[in-house]
Structures are given as structure tokens and as C-alpha cells.
Amino acid sequence: MTQINHRIPNEVEGKVALVTGAASGIGKAIALMLHARGAKVIAEDINPAVEALARPGLVPLVADISKDGVAERAVGLAVETFGRLDILVNNAGIIINKLVIDMTREDWERIQAVNATAAFLHCREAVKAMMPNKSGAIVNIASYASYFAFPTIAAYTASKGALAQLTRTLALEAIEHGIRVNAIGVGDVVTNILNDVVEDGPGFLAKHGEAAPIGRAAQPEEIAEVVAFLASDRASFIVGSVVMADGGMTVTAG
């Protein structure tokens, strides 16, 4: 019988990471997993609940990622506190469910500001900090909605499509400096992202995930595992990819 190695690898040991949207859901799982596997972590979120993650080697930052100067502040905190920045995970994201004809410009721009523009700003500042070290990894949390759509999520799909293309383009620009940029095409994950849209956000996502070939939604820790791999030197040859972690949704979508 084949023996399975259940040892958890310290794949990011000694590295410094910045994770956005870290107060709950996927972001919280990522921050805690990277920390457990040896990284020092800046956990950034607009929600003050992120402060509950504070512990040696894990520093919370309460901030609105869409505001000017916040990316500079977050990256600066990593460098000032831990001496460098090795990993950026752009996880923060929001969604709105409205038909295009019912959507205001403010609705549209709020989604783009958080999901796309803030990721761009954090990427820009992270690359600047990583370049002197000639190494680094950026992981953007995209979506199967980067490629496929459902009615009422035009703003979200546009923002996630933009994030996928930002990933590919920045990957070409950054690799000469030893910095790898990749994304994850996430499917339905049991989180609170829909709490402002439906009565039971996690329950809705769990039910919606049953439509995937795997027959269920993911838990946040399953996405965190992919992040930890892409952020580590084990993924040294993966550049500019959108790694699909969607339970097979994109195999059948459309």
C-alpha cells in the first residue's frame, strides 16, 4: 500500500507575506495557514475583526484597501516590521447582484475599486519592495467568474476578468526580477461574501456549489492550500497562470 505523507510542509518558512481581506473566510484561512507554515504575516482588512488574529509573527492592519496610500502603508508595514516582503496575496473582494440596467455608476465603481484597482495598487507597491531581493510571489484570488458569467454579476465578472489579465501582464513584467505572479480561479467557497446579498450567504454558496462536477462548495482552507503552494518555491516554474480551483465548474460552464 502506498504511504501518504501527512506532514505539513513549512513551505513558506522565513518568508514575509501580506494578505488582504484577512478578517474572515478565504483571507483568514490564508493568513493563518501561511503563519502556521513559517511565514511572518501582515493581515489587512477593513473589518476591525482582523485584530483578533494578532499573535507573534502575525500583525493585523485595519485599512480600506481601495483608498489612496493604503497599499504603500501595508507594504511599508511589512518591510518596517519584518525587514522585507516576499509574498502578496490579493484576496479582498466584494460582490453586488444587480442587473446592468439597475446598476448605478457608484455600484460599478465600488466593485472595481476593491476587486481590481486595489489589487493593482498592492501589486505595484509589492513589486517595488520585492525587486531589490530579486525574488517574490504574488497570488491574486480571481474566480471562475473571470471567464464565465451569470445574470446580475456584471460588475463582479468584469473585476475578476481584469484581475486575471492584470495577473498575466504583470507576470511578464515581473519575472525578469525573479518575481512570480499567478492567480487562482476560485469556485464556490463557503464564506460570508454574499451576506449583504442573501439571507444566508454561506448556505447559498454551499447549495450553489452542488452544481459543480465535484458536487459541493470548497472550504476556505482548500483554497489556502493552493495559495501556500503557489507562494512557495515548490511552484518555481509556474508563471502567469490562473490555476483553477473550482471543483470542475469551468469544465462544464457554458
- Reported for 4-9, long-range contacts at CB under 8 A and 24+ positions apart, including other chains, are 8/36, 8/37, 9/37, 9/232, 9/234
Q: The cell 518558512 sits on which residue?
A: 13
Gap between the terminal Cα atoms of the chain: 40
Q: How far is CA 44 from CA 47, 48, 49, 237, in A?
A: 9, 10, 10, 28
- DSSP three-state, residue 8: coil
φ, ψ at 20 (rounded to 5°): -95, 155
Q: Active-site residue among 82, 144, 156, 229?
A: 156
**C-alpha closest to that of 124 among 192, 65, 193:** 65
Catalytic (active site) residue 156: yes
- Environment class of 107 (CB within 10 Å of its CB; exposed 0-12, middle 13-18, buried 19+): middle
- DSSP three-state, residue 84: coil
Active site residues: 156
